[in-house]
Structure 1
Amino acid sequence: MKTLIIKYKSVIKFILTFLIVYGVLSLVYSFYLDASKSGQYYPDFITNLVAKQSENLLKTFGYETNVVPHPNEPSIKVIVEGKYLARVIEGCNAASIIILFVSFIVAFSGKIKTTIIFALSGSVLLYVVNLIRIVVLSIGLYHYPWREAILHSVVFPAIIYGMVFLLWMFWVNRFSKINQ
């Protein structure tokens, strides 16, 4: 058993680091969500911000857009040209994806400064890509409502998870300690 642990020390270290960072960040995010229930931003600040920024981007592309709190559930309705197209829920704010991304980067850490800069810049990039995917989905739903299933189930996740994968591959091949 001891020889297996020694042999796979780096794998065990990666898994434990990933799980610890993921667990801590998820716990902090969970506390944030609990604290947000009684806040002025509905359903929480980050989700509200994502909805408002998506609204502004859609307006930039020439679509008359409004985002309003959903009366029956913790989400924000996206209304484009008078049509209720989608809702922005907590899962749409990219926070959980950013937590996953950061956990992986820390588990495959490189130099501390590089790790912090890459984690922060990658998180910002993922946030922006998430806004773009919400806008793409909204425009797609406006023009092609019969394609909702493929847009939301295939295109929507492919955009954000594809970006996460590309960032991970770039990190591992360029900055992580395994390449030093």
Structure 2
Amino acid sequence: MAPPTPSRACASAADGLLAFGSLPRSSAPGGAAFFGCLPVGFVSSGFAILFTLTMSISLPAPALRRFLFVAGALYLVWFFGYEQWLAPDGRLDEVLCDHIARSAAVVLRALGFDASITAPRVIALNGTDAVIVGTPCNGLVLYALFTGFILAFPGPWRHKAAYIPLGIGLIYVLNIGRVMALALNHRYSQETVDFNHHYTFTFVVYGFIFLLWMTWARRYSPAVAA
């Protein structure tokens, strides 16, 4: 009986998905799940979500104008700083991807699993490649969206200076947990990887970020509290 076809949780850029600096489908070693794709225009969609969220909170007109101005300025910084410079260069993304993969492997080993790094960004379980951490899942976009909302939304700067690092740290830990979970998912229930990657874990991560946003808006923003 032939072994099941290894699942791949990421398509190529030609399939309409972002994969800056990612390994192409044909180069995924050992049948590992290619973890980390996001729809084209994800950052633009993120800013659209921020706009919708702000509308739902009903900011006063001056605070809303400030939010839109700062959010637009931050998007331009992201577009020219990352998409036009850092993403084509690729080195920052490579470092972040490798770090996430290695951190996930360390925690898996601490929990008693036979995890190792067999190539840059590739996590293996029991000697079999399980997950390749693609660029869109190194956490950088998540940090940018979270930070952009907090910077643009009204609130004391001293609170922002504490809340932003705290939020990034929590997202970082959650992202490592997501990579670990997908590696175990690929090892023990390969047929469910695609669904869990695209739906279950996406819902968990972005739901958590949404909760962080709403906590800031409801608890720390004087514009909303008023």
TM-score range, shorter chain: 0.7 to 0.9
Q: Does 1:119 align with 2:169?
A: no
Contact 1:54 1:135 in 2 (8 A): yes
Identity between Structure 1 and Structure 2 (%): 22
**1: distance between equivalents of 2:137 and 2:118?**
15
Segments of 5+ residues of structure 2 without an aligned counterpart are 1-59
Secondary structure, in 3 states, of the residue corresponding to 2:124? Answer: strand
Match of 2:203 among 155, 158, 178: 158
Q: Which amino acid aligns with 1:170?
A: T
Name 2:63's counterpart in structure 1. Answer: 10
**2: distance between equivalents of 1:164 and 1:28?**
23
**2: distance between equivalents of 1:22 and 1:116?**
20
Name 1:84's counterpart in structure 2. Answer: 129
RMSD in angstroms over aligned alpha carbons?
A: 2.1
Q: State the TM-score, normalizing by the size of structure 1.
A: 0.82
Match of 1:103 among 127, 140, 148: 148
Q: Does 1:68 align with 2:133?
A: no
In the TM superposition, what is the alpha-carbon distance from 1:166 to its structure 2 partner? 0.7
Q: Does 1:54 align with 2:104?
A: yes
Match of 1:135 among 180, 202, 212: 180
CA deviation map 1:32-78 (0-9, x unaligned):
444554x8xxx6211111111011011112111122336xxxxx222
Show structure 1 runs of 4+ deviating over 3 A.
7-10, 25-37
**2: distance between equivalents of 1:175 and 1:21?**
21
Q: Which amino acid aligns with 1:104?
A: F
Q: State the TM-score, normalizing by the size of structure 2.
A: 0.66
Secondary structure, in 3 states, of the residue corresponding to 2:129? Answer: strand
In the TM superposition, what is the alpha-carbon distance from 1:143 to its structure 2 partner? 1.2
In the TM superposition, what is the alpha-carbon distance from 1:109 to its structure 2 partner? 3.0
Q: Which amino acid aligns with 2:185?
A: G
